[in-house]
Chains A and B, each alone.
Chain A
């Protein structure tokens, strides 16, 4: 990632001050506009063993998702008679952060994120079409630079579609943040660490529904409304890219077939 200043030469306090100083002029340390998302890279079908898979990169944040199922549930008592169960695991690899090695066992943070990701995906999947089965979504963060949970949602959504699991819509994850009074889209790790608020959002684009919403920091109601508006706009672009990524897999396959 390119920064407008040399971040390696600053102490955390100086970096915090610099980020806030830039925000007053409506600027960001990586040179983006407040409503500008980092480059998004989407790939589907990246893991041959999975029924569906996807890689999603938001700048330097990289999430890989695999979907297995619908398949038999083990242990069997977890199965539901009228629909599929959804199992979601979000996990960060030990080498994914800029800090010291992260211990591989799941943290309280990862357990919470797994839960809210499941609750963001459940309303979207037609679980009632697969009673007594399980649909499993496993997500690994390979490289983290902020906004990992929203990149995970996008990856999970793509992997589910790639697995051919019927859904009401595609879900798109976008993070919103705030530095001073400036509301920004898609936080990098510095904006996450030194900003004044963080609001991950996931939306069903075609239906205008919010399926994941969290926030911390200090927000006025106006700032939250502004954040939601920016998130929907950013999500719309990513949604189009997701559709293209899903289609391109078949376009490429048909080209090979024609040859």
Chain B
């Protein structure tokens, strides 16, 4: 039964606290003092990890996600013989929250990794053709490993931001073909080609007491009626993932508009951080 998706145990939250959070939302505010559509403070350290080929540590309020890229060489997928590959994996190790048990990625971790993967893939942020070394034989493989260090809600947006910033800081090692075999020269590097205009980001919303809130905390995610994540690249929608509850059509139209507005602001923050890489490793 390991592959069965099971209704999750609700987090224990005192009724009083639940009602207080809802009441504050109904008054147009939030329990941490933000407005309904405000993101928490975003701090991005780009390329701090010397052992990775590209990296980023993102703090979204108290949510912290570290992304590391390792570049490999391998055979392309048969349906895209002249394109490189992107492989995204996300882990929630037990250090990230008191409720997390050690083990392989669960359905939540798999889902987040797949949403981040789709959002980046459909954005044209990466030029997959530029990752081809020898068509049909050898291409670059970008392994993006995301580790949640502290879970305080909205892992989707933090993970996506971390993955994108890490990719933007990635350099590819030189590859030479010797006797039909690839030889990786890690000392000689060229930057990975990215298109900053198409920077992909996700924006997650929850619905509480009929209000739409952006960038939910863990507590807000635990009591929300519904949750949805929208992936945006250059003002186009590149992914959607409804994860909890239901939405009306008007909700969805409203959320689309808001996500494009929020994308613009967030994109500026991320691009600025990418321009100012940070070689010191800080959380």
- Same complex: yes
Encode B1-43 as 1/0 by CB contact (under 8 A) with A.
1111111011000000000000000000000000000000000
Most buried by A among B6, B111, B118, B248: B6
Q: Which residues of the partner chain B approach A210 to less than 8 Å between Cβ atoms?
A: 242, 246-249, 252
* Cα of A91 to Cα of B7 in the assembled complex, Å: 18
**B269 on the interface (CB 8 Å rule)?**
no
Q: Quick check: B240 and A112 within 8 Å, CB to CB? A: no
* Across-interface contacts of B236 in A (CB, < 8 A): 218-220
| Cβ A213 vs Cβ B248 within 8 A | no
Whether, in the assembled complex, B265 has its beta carbon less than 8 Å from a beta carbon of chain A, the answer is: no
Q: Tell me the bound Cα distance from A215 to B121 in angstroms.
A: 12
B78-109 residues with Cβ-Cβ distance < 8 A to A are 79, 107-108
Q: Which of chain A's residues has its CB closest to B245's CB?
A: A123
| 8 A Cβ contacts from A74-118 to B | 78, 80, 84-89, 91, 105-106, 108-112, 114-118
Contact B242 A225 (CB under 8 A): no
Which chain A residues in 129-149 approach chain B with CB under 8 Å?
Answer: 136
Contact call B239/A215, Cβ cutoff below 8 A: yes
Residue numbers in B under 8 Å from A122 (CB-CB): 7
**Shortest beta-carbon distance from A199 to chain B in Å:** 7
A205 lies within 8 A of chain B by Cβ: no
Bitwise, A210-241 to B at CB < 8 A (1) or not (0) is 11111111111100110010001000000000
Chain B residues near A119 (CB, 8 Å)? 242-245
CB contacts (< 8 Å) of B237 on chain A: these are: 215, 218-221, 224
Q: Output the nearest chain B residue to A213 by Cβ-Cβ distance.
A: B242
Max count, chain A CB within 10 A of own CB: residue among B1, B7, B239: B7
Give the residues in chain B near A12, CB-CB below 8 Å.
79
**Counting CB contacts under 8 A, is B50 at the interface?**
no
Query: When each residue 148-167 of chain A gets 1 if its CB lies under 8 Å from chain B and 0 otherwise, what string results?
Result: 00000000000000000000
Per-residue 0/1 for A171-209: is the Cβ within 8 Å of any B Cβ (1 yes, 0 no)? 000000000000000000000000001010000100011
* A77-B226 Cα distance, complex, nearest whole Å: 26
Contact status A108-B110, CB under 8 Å: yes
Among the stretches B137-145, B176-184, B253-261, the one at the interface with A is B253-261
Is there contact, CB below 8 Å, between A216 and B118? yes
Check if B246 sits within 8 Å of A204, measured CB to CB. yes
Note all chain B residues with C-beta closer than 8 A to A78: 6, 9
Q: Quick check: is B222 within 8 A (CB to CB) of the other chain?
A: no
Whether the Cβ atoms of B238 and A209 lie closer than 8 Å is no
Given the known inter-chain contacts A115-B111, A224-B256, please indicate yes or no for A87 contacting B239, CB distance below 8 A: no
Contacting residues, chain B, for A108 (C-beta < 8 A): 110, 113-114
Nearest CB of A to B249, in Å: 6
Is B260 within 8 A of A111, CB to CB? no
Beta-carbon contacts of B109-146 to A below 8 Å, as 1s and 0s? 01101100010011000000000000000000000000
Number of residues from B at the complex interface, CB < 8 A? 40
* Contact B110–A85 (Cβ < 8 Å): no
**B274 interface residue, CB < 8 Å from A?**
no
Q: Are A85 and B6 in contact (CB under 8 A)?
A: yes
**With A87-B4, A115-B107 as given contacts, are A219 and B238 in contact (CB-CB < 8 Å)?**
yes
Question: Is the Cβ of B3 less than 8 Å from the Cβ of A114?
Answer: yes
The verdict on B57 contacting chain A, using a C-beta distance below 8 Å, is no
A112-B114, A217-B238, A219-B236 given; A89·B4 CB < 8 A: yes
Task: For residue A118, give the distance in angstroms from its CB to the closest CB of chain B.
Answer: 4
* A108-B114, A217-B238, A225-B253 as given contacts; A209 in contact with B246, CB under 8 Å: yes
CB distance from A161 to the nearest CB of B (A): 18
How distant is the Cα of A199 from the Cα of B249 in the complex, in angstroms? Answer: 14
Nearest neighbor of B249 in chain A, beta-carbon distance? A228
Residue from B4, B9, B240 within 8 A of A215 (CB atoms): B240
Complex contact B111–A212 (CB within 8 A): no
Contact A111 B240 (CB under 8 A): no
Whole-angstrom distance between the Cβ of B159 and the nearest chain A Cβ: 15
A116 partner, pick from B122, B241, B252, B256, beta carbons under 8 A: B241
- Which residues in A have their C-beta under 8 angstroms from that of B247? 209-210, 213
Given contacts A88-B4, A210-B249, contact A221 B242 (CB under 8 A): no
Task: With CB as the reference atom, state the residue of chain B lying closest to A168.
Answer: B246
Q: Is the CB of B242 within 8 A of A214?
A: yes
Taking a contact as CB atoms closer than 8 A, the residue among B9, B113, B260 that contacts A80 in the complex is B9
Q: For residue B108, give the distance in angstroms from its CB to the closest CB of chain A.
A: 8
Q: Does B172 contact A (CB under 8 A)?
A: no
Give the docked Cα–Cα distance between A39 and B233 (Å).
Answer: 36
Cβ 8 A contact of B253, one of A204, A219, A220, A221: A221
Does residue B214 face the partner (Cβ distance < 8 Å to A)?
Answer: no
A213→B4 contact, CB < 8 A: no
Q: What A residues does B239 contact at CB under 8 A?
A: 214-216
Most buried by A among B239, B244, B257: B239
- 5 interchain pairs (CB within 8 A)? A87-B6, A112-B110, A210-B252, A212-B242, A218-B238
Interface residues of B (CB under 8 A from A): 1-7, 9-10, 79, 107-108, 110-111, 113-114, 118, 121-122, 228, 233, 236-249, 252-253, 256-257, 260
